[in-house]
């Protein structure tokens, strides 16, 4: 007869009763193996007993990921979040990025600083331009003020006492007696148009015969103050300059005029200053004896040109002389001066 013992665990019976011996207490109080309890991997391949139930899966870790690991994007399979900047705490956005609130605030502050700097530049530039404009206007105003009210030795811009602001009509100023004496015969009068209004007057007469002809041209000109004149720029100085230029043109005619040099003679007692210039011009088979008398009375310049024209073959028989022409021109100038006062 076979001895029956306690049922084995393989038959599915109840587990054997625990013995409360010293060895069991040591086995029960033994510390767990090192490592995390959910990561413990059994070293044997023995199957757990059926009464132990299904194996317990390891508990997931609740600890946050290390700081150097990128945080996974929400959703399965999503791309990983960009790495944080060095020193940025976990869970906080990077302050230097433009797509974060801190980055946007810094960008706005930088833009405001740039706008303020540009505004300062514009303000200073406008102020500098205003200062330059004011300085130019001040200098221009002072210059105009000095020109309008010249001080002693300054530039004169107005007519001075005793200066003439108009001249008499030339055609009526030369007396008929003078014309009959030096231009006898049937005279033809020519009145050129003045370009300076009452400051200038011109007139001319011509007498033609078969043997000769005589021509008289008279000009009266009152000069105005000019900044280009010598001295203080007064009208009298302008007339002096014109007088000197007329004498020089007779003594040294321009080449393009093809005129000979004139014999210049000062005339005393005629106006403030006067001279006579005599020239003989031969051209086109004719000989022209020309005498020019120029006189200056204050700021008025009077010029009288008396010519005698004759053919080349009759030149020796001409009925006038250079002395007679000079006397006639001088008489015309005296008539003009008498009408100035």
Query: Where does residue 285 fall: left (phi above 0), alpha (psi -120 to 50 degrees), or beta otherwise?
Result: left
- Residue 88 scores a pLDDT above 60: no
Q: Are residues 183 and 138 in the same domain?
A: no
List pLDDT tens digits, range 27-47: 444 555 555 544 444 544 455
Q: How far apart are CA 288 and CA 281, in angstroms?
A: 5
Q: How far apart are CA 177 and CA 180, in angstroms?
A: 5
Element (H, E) at 238: helix 235-251
Q: Are residues 115 and 262 in the same domain?
A: no
Q: Are residues 235 and 144 in the same domain?
A: no
| 66 within a domain of the structure (yes/no) | no
- Residues 56, 62, 65, 71: is their CA dihedral positive or negative? positive
- Residues 265, 268, 269, 271: is their CA dihedral positive or negative? positive
Domain containing 326 equals 170-338
Q: How far apart are CA 168 and CA 154, in angstroms?
A: 31
| Beta bridge partner(s), residue 322 | none
**What CATH number is attached to the domain comprising 333?**
3.40.1000
Q: Are residues 204 and 127 in the same domain?
A: no
| 35 within a domain of the structure (yes/no) | no
Q: Are residues 195 and 141 in the same domain?
A: no
Domain count of the fold of the chain: 2
Q: Are residues 189 and 333 in the same domain?
A: yes
| 60 within a domain of the structure (yes/no) | no
Instruction: Please state which of the ranges 76-80, 97-101, 262-266, 275-279 shows the lowest mean pLDDT.
Output: 76-80
Model pTM score: 0.56
């Amino acid at each position: 007869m076979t001895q029956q013992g306690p049922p084995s665990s393989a038959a599915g019976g109840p587990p054997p009763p625990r013995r409360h011996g010293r060895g069991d207490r040591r086995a029960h109080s033994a510390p767990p193996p090192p490592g995390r309890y959910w990561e413990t991997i059994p070293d044997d391949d023995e199957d757990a007993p059926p009464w132990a139930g299904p194996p317990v899966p390891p508990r997931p870790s609740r600890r946050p990921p290390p700081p150097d690991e990128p945080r996974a994007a929400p959703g399965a399979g999503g791309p990983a979040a960009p790495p944080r900047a060095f020193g940025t705490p976990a869970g906080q956005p990077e302050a230097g990025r433009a797509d974060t609130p801190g980055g946007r605030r810094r960008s706005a502050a930088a833009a405001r600083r740039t706008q303020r700097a540009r505004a300062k530049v514009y303000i200073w530039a406008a102020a500098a331009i205003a200062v330059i404009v004011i300085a130019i206007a001040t200098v221009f105003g002072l210059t105009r003020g000095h020109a309008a009210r010249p001080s002693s030795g300054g530039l004169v811009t107005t007519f001075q006492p005793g200066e003439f602001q108009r001249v008499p009509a030339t055609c009526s100023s030369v007396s008929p007696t003078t014309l009959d004496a030096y231009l006898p015969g049937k005279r033809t009068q020519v009145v050129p148009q003045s370009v300076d209004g009452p400051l200038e007057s011109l007139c001319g007469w011509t007498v033609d015969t078969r043997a000769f002809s005589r021509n008289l041209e008279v000009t009266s000109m009152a000069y105005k103050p000019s900044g280009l004149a010598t001295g203080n720029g007064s009208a009298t100085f302008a007339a002096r300059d014109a007088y000197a230029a007329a004498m020089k043109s007779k003594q040294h005619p321009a080449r393009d005029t093809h005129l000979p040099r004139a014999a210049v003679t000062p005339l005393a007692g005629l106006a403030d200053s006067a001279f006579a210039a005599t020239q003989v011009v031969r051209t086109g088979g004719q000989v022209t004896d020309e005498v020019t008398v120029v006189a200056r009375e204050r700021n008025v310049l009077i010029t009288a040109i008396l010519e005698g024209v004759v053919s080349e073959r009759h030149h020796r028989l001409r009925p006038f002389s250079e002395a007679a022409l000079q006397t006639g021109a001088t008489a015309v100038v005296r008539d003009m001066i008498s009408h100035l006062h």
